[in-house]
Amino acid sequence: TAGITQAPTSQILAAGRSMTLRCTQDMRHNAMYWYRQDLGLGLRLIHYSNTAGTTGKGEVPDGYSVSRANTDDFPLTLASAVPSQTSVYFCASRPWGDSGPYEQYFGPGTRLTVT
Q: Which residues bind another protein (CB under 8 A)?
A: 31, 33, 35, 40-45, 48, 50, 56, 58, 90, 92, 94, 100-109
Please state the closest distance from residue 51 (CB atom) to another protein, in A: 11
* Residue number with CB closer to another protein (62 or 103): 103
Q: Which residues contact 94 (CB under 8 A, 6 or more apart)?
A: 29, 30, 31, 32, 33, 102, 103, 104, 105
Q: How far is the CB of 108 from another protein (least distance, A)?
A: 5
- Which residue lies nearer to another protein by CB, 17 or 57? 57
Beta bridge partners of 112: 11, 87
CB of 38 to another protein, least distance (A): 10
Alpha-carbon gap, residue 8 to 58, rounded angstroms = 23
CA dist 76 and 87 (Å) reads 13
* Residue number with CB closer to another protein (8 or 16): 8
How distant, in Å, are the alpha carbons of 10, 22, 54, 79 from that of 74? 18, 7, 11, 16
The least CB distance from residue 80 to another protein, in Å, is 26
